[in-house]
């Protein structure tokens, strides 16, 4: 074994760079192993040992990327990603795209070869600068440090530049020369408090008036609910909006708009977040006579169906006008009541019978209840059970599947933090995202959140797509998490498309449904996860009871 080098400009610069990120309040780091990035990785391990960062290690960069995304979403501050060169960087691309489209701050630090080794067929060397294209809001290609005394200061300045105004993905490609690392002392720093740089705000003032609705898509948050109340407007809040609660909520918004023709009477739409779950909302915005105002989200594209949006703003404020609010009462009341009536009709439980004095009625009720408990689980009952089991200190992560759409139709109002990767609605990275959310949720010891659990509701194909993310780094803290997999043997979401009725059935199944018969119990066992299989409604609620640990709950569903 050769003796260790006494010093390495790579390690000095990497340590200074990470140190400045830590000082500025970035404390979550996810890394994947590799040679070219070793200076960064070894520095990160030292910062972890010193209690200055929370480090997670994942072999698969694709998992690492989505884990970082989940951490950043929940913690509300950027996560650092460290990778080596070559295909390793490209594995981050799915998470980078999702982060770009949903406006989640991620910082990618990729190790690369220096100039003299690029473009000559060196091992594991490709064109890394610009590899993420438009998805990165800024990129740097930093030449290899050579040991100049100014380099550590330059590294600190670089970290500050990278953090300034960050809203999405920033890619810092770092060239390193041999020696790729050497023992390095940590700088004398403290873990900082993250402060996002304030954005220049364009606030639009709105007057309450009937004919207005507020739409809340993914990421809308509580501001949408507050605006709906201030405007006296019905709140059409998708299930991952974080705004599906409050007195103005119209949970059955699609049915109210279409069946009740309420949509025809809308004159003004105020959109928060990124709506993706219905066809009705973009159709409404594109209708003649509708004026739409979009409150910008951090994602890279402003929501603008048919290019029909009249105004964009960073935020809205509502003029206090009690007469106008009074005039809106009837308007919002009709929406809310119609929605409640629709949801009650969908609810198959027969309330009240248990309280009656008539023994025959009571016996009949008990029998119905028993039958309900033995009944097989439907998508609706599964999605609702997960929703009902969750509370404000819990977190819910929804995969792209029929289940999120089903839940969007029926979930009653409840103030639960929900996340879904709806930037690009991929079926990739769902487990890693959920683990990231769970880790960040449960990081503050003694907090209410730390006593909560994260539930991830996803389909079987999304589960298999990200199975590798079931693995944790050795010795890492593991969160309380339940993966609830609705297993209908393939991608049944496509059954709802027109092609399902026109294509040859066997051909359709082969290339659209893509059936699978993986043994989830063995999969869970291989990764050290607890496994529960739930087949009846009666078993469902107990299975969803929070418990520490990592649980895979498989729920077989008919196609």
Residues that bind Mg ion (CB under 5 A): 459-460, 488
Which residue in the set 383, 486, 534, 552 belongs to the binding site for ligand TPP (CB under 6 A)? 486
Stretch 401-420 residues interacting with ligand TPP (CB under 6 A): 401-403
Site string for ligand TPP, 218-257 (x = CB under 6 A): ----------------------------------------
Do residues 33 and 84 lie in contact, with contact meaning Cβ atoms separated by under 8 Å? yes
Among 91, 152, 225, 488, binds ligand TPP (CB under 6 A): 488
Task: Give the integer Cα–Cα distance in Å for 267 and 356.
Answer: 47
| Least separation in angstroms between CB 96 and ligand TPP | 14
Stretch that binds ligand TPP, among 13-21, 49-57, 256-264, 483-491 (CB under 6 A): 483-491
Q: How far is the CB of 400 from Mg ion (least distance, A)?
A: 11
Are 553 and 386 contacting, i.e. CB atoms less than 8 angstroms apart? Answer: no
| Contact flag: residue 523 with ligand TPP (CB under 6 A) | no
Residue 492 makes contact with ligand TPP by CB under 6 A: yes
User: Reduced to 3 DSSP states, what percent helix, strand and coil does the chain have, rounded to the nearest 5?
Assistant: 40, 20, 40
Count of CA atoms in the C-beta half-sphere (13 A) of 448: 5
386 scored as a contact of ligand TPP (CB under 6 A): no
> Is residue 461 a contact point for ligand TPP (CB under 6 A)?
yes
Beta carbon of residue 490, minimum distance to Mg ion (angstroms, whole number):
5
Instruction: Look at residue 425 and give the partner it binds from ligand TPP, Mg ion, none, a contact being a CB closer than 5 to 8 Å depending on partner kind.
Output: ligand TPP
In the complex, least distance from residue 488 CB atom to ligand TPP, rounded to whole angstroms: 5
Residue (13 or 427) nearer to ligand TPP, CB: 427
Q: How far is the CB of 98 from ligand TPP (least distance, A)?
A: 10
CB 468, min distance to ligand TPP, A: 14
The residue (of 461 and 523) whose beta carbon lies closer to ligand TPP is: 461
- For residues 412 and 253, is the Cβ–Cβ distance under 8 A? no
Q: Could you tell me which of 523, 531, 522, 526 has the C-alpha nearest to residue 549?
A: 531
Check if the beta carbon of residue 103 is closer than 8 Å to that of residue 168: yes
CB 194 to ligand TPP: min, Å: 30
Q: Which listed range, 26-34, 44-52, 173-181, 397-405, lies at the site for ligand TPP (CB under 6 A)?
A: 397-405
Choose the one of ligand TPP, Mg ion, none that binds residue 269, judging by a C-beta under 5 to 8 angstroms depending on kind. Answer: none
Q: What is the nearest approach in angstroms of ligand TPP to the Cβ of residue 397?
A: 14
Q: Using the rule CB under 6 A, which residue among 460, 466, 509, 554 binds ligand TPP?
A: 460
User: Is the CB of 372 or the CB of 425 nearer to ligand TPP?
Assistant: 425
Distance CA 514, CA 339 (A): 36
Using the minimum distance from each CB to ligand TPP, give the nearer residue, 181 or 421: 421
8 A C-beta contact, residue 220 and residue 281: no
For CA atoms 243, 249, 251, 252, the dihedral sign is negative
* End-to-end Cα, the chain, rounded Å: 59
Distances (CA, A) of 331 to 27, 231, 232, 327: 48, 11, 8, 8
- The least distance separating ligand TPP from the CB of residue 517, rounded to whole angstroms, comes to 13
Cα–chain center distance at 267: 32
Residues near ligand TPP (CB under 6 A), total: 17
* Cα–Cα distance for residue pair 507/50, rounded to 1 Å: 57
Report yes or no: 194 and 25 within 8 Å, Cβ to Cβ: yes
- Which residues neighbour 317 within 8 Å (Cβ) at sequence distance 6 or greater? 203, 204, 205, 206
What is the closest distance, in whole angstroms, from the C-beta atom of residue 404 to ligand TPP in the complex?
A: 9
The tokens of 201 are what? 């705000």
Determine, following the binding rule CB under 6 A, whether residue 462 of this chain makes contact with ligand TPP. yes
Residue 426 interface partner, choices Mg ion, ligand TPP, none, CB cut-off 5-8 Å depending on type = ligand TPP
Q: Which is nearer to Mg ion, 280 or 554 (CB)?
A: 554
How far is residue 74's CA from residue 91's CA, in Å, rounded to a whole number? 22
* Closest chain position to ligand TPP (CB): 459
Q: Is 55 in the site for ligand TPP (CB under 6 A)?
A: no
List the one residue from 408, 428, 466, 509 that touches ligand TPP (CB under 6 A): 428
Which residue in the set 426, 434, 452, 479 belongs to the binding site for ligand TPP (CB under 6 A)?
Answer: 426
Cβ-based burial of 533 (10 A; exposed 0-12, middle 13-18, buried ≥19): middle
**Rounded least distance, CB 392 to ligand TPP, Å:** 27
Nearer to Mg ion, 173 or 492 (CB): 492
User: Listing from the earlier edge strand, what are the strands of the sheet with 395-398?
Assistant: 418-419, 395-398, 454-459, 481-487, 550-556, 530-533
What minimum distance in Å lies between the beta carbon of 483 and ligand TPP?
12
Q: 103 has which bridge partners? A: none
Taking contact as CB under 6 A, which single stretch among the options 102-110, 154-162, 487-495, 524-532 is the one that binds ligand TPP? Answer: 487-495
CA dihedral 142, 27, 33, 103 (to 10 degrees): -70
The DSSP secondary structure of 490-531, one letter per residue, reads S-GGGGGSTHHHHS-HHHHIIIII------HHHHHHHTT-EE
Q: Is 459 in the site for ligand TPP (CB under 6 A)?
A: yes
Instruction: Determine contact, residues 257/277, Cβ cutoff 8 Å.
Output: no
Residues near ligand TPP (CB under 6 A): 400-403, 425-428, 459-462, 486, 488, 491-493
């Amino acid at each position: 074994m050769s003796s260790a080098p006494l010093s390495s400009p790579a390690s000095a610069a990497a340590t200074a760079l990470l140190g400045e990120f830590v000082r500025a309040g970035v404390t979550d780091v996810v890394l994947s192993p590799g040679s070219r990035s070793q200076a960064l990785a070894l520095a990160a391990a030292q910062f972890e040992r010193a209690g200055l960062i929370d480090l997670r290690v994942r072999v698969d960069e694709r998992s690492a990327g989505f884990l970082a995304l989940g951490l950043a979403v929940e913690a509300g501050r950027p996560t650092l990603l460290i990778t080596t060169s070559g295909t390793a960087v490209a594995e981050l691309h799915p998470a980078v795209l999702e982060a770009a489209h949903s406006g989640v701050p991620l910082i990618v630090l990729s190790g690369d070869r220096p100039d003299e080794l690029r473009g000559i067929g060196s091992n594991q060397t490709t064109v890394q600068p610009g590899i993420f294209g438009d998805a990165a809001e800024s990129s740097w290609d930093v030449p290899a440090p050579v040991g100049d005394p100014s380099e550590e200061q330059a590294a600190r300045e670089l970290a500050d530049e990278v953090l300034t105004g960050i809203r999405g993905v920033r890619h810092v490609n770092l060239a390193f020369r041999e020696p790729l690392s050497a023992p390095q002392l940590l700088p004398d720093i403290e873990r900082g408090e993250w402060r996002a740089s304030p954005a220049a705000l364009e606030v639009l003032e709105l007057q309450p008036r009937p004919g207005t609705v507020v739409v809340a898509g993914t990421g809308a948050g509580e501001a949408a609910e507050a605006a709906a109340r201030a405007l006296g407007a019905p709140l059409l809040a998708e299930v991952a909006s974080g705004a599906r609660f409050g007195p103005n909520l119209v949970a059955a918004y699609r049915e109210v708009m279409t069946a009740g023709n309420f949509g025809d009477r809308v004159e003004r739409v105020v959109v928060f977040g990124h709506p993706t779950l219905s066809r009705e909302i973009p159709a409404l915005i594109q209708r003649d006579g509708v004026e739409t105002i979009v409150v910008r989200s951090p994602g890279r594209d402003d929501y603008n169906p048919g290019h029909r949006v009249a105004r964009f703003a960073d935020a809205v404020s509502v003029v206090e006008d009690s007469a106008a609010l009074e005039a809106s009462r009837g308007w919002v009341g009709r929406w809310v009541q119609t929605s409640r009536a629709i949801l009650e009709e969908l609810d198959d439980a027969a309330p009240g019978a248990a309280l009656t004095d008539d023994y025959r009625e009571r016996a009949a009720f008990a029998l119905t209840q028993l039958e309900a408990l033995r009944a097989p689980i439907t998508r609706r009952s599964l999605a609702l059970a997960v929703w009902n089991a969750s509370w404000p200190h819990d977190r819910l992560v929804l995969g792209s599947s029929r289940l999120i759409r089903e839940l969007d139709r029926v979930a009653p109002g409840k103030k639960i933090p929900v996340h879904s990767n709806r930037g690009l609605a991929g079926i990739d990275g769902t487990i890693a995202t959920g683990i990231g959310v769970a880790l960040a949720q449960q990081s503050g010891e003694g907090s209410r959140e730390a006593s909560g659990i994260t539930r991830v509701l996803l389909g079987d194909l999304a589960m298999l797509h990200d199975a590798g993310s079931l693995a944790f780094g050795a010795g890492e803290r593991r969160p309380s998490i339940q993966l609830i997999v609705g297993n209908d043997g393939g991608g049944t979401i496509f059954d709802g498309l027109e092609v399902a009725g026109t294509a040859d059935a066997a051909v359709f199944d082969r290339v659209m449904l893509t059936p699978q018969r993986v043994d989830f119990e063995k999969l869970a066992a291989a990764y050290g996860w607890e496994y529960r299989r739930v087949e009846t409604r009666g078993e469902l609620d107990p299975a969803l009871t929070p418990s520490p640990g990592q649980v895979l709950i498989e729920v077989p569903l008919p196609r």
